[in-house]
Amino acid sequence: MIFNRKTGVPQALVDGTCVIYWRTATISALGADFLARRDVSKRLVLGTGRFASFMVLAHASIRPISEIPFWSRDSNKAKNIVEAVSLARPDIKIQSVMISKSL
């Protein structure tokens, strides 16, 4: 639970798991900000697990991102990620990409 520092009034009830997802995504985005070239506007996301949407939103909050290709073994999860991220950030082109099985 988060309280107002001055009044003591409750401000938010936050799920602990959600905090861990945001923390991990934020650290990833911060690292990418220091390590990536300044002219990069594209991020590749591998997988559509629980962290995927958090990663996309965290990275997009630190630097402008125009496009996010992502790879997933599960096409249903890929569809869900596209819908979720497109709703939150319609300015970002997000698309599922396939990798050849011969690789």
* Per-residue pLDDT tens digits for 78-88: 888 888 889 99
Judge whether residue 8 has pLDDT over 70.
yes
Domain annotation for the chain: domains and CATH numbers:
2-97 (3.40.50.720)
pTM: 0.76
Burial of 82 (0-12, 13-18, 19+ CB in 10 A): middle
Query: What pLDDT shows up at residue 60?
Result: 92
% of the chain beyond a pLDDT of 70: 95
**Model confidence at 101, in pLDDT bands (50, 70, 90)?**
low
Query: What pLDDT shows up at residue 100?
Result: 60
User: Which structure tokens are listed for 8?
Assistant: 């003591």
**3-class SS of residue 35:** helix
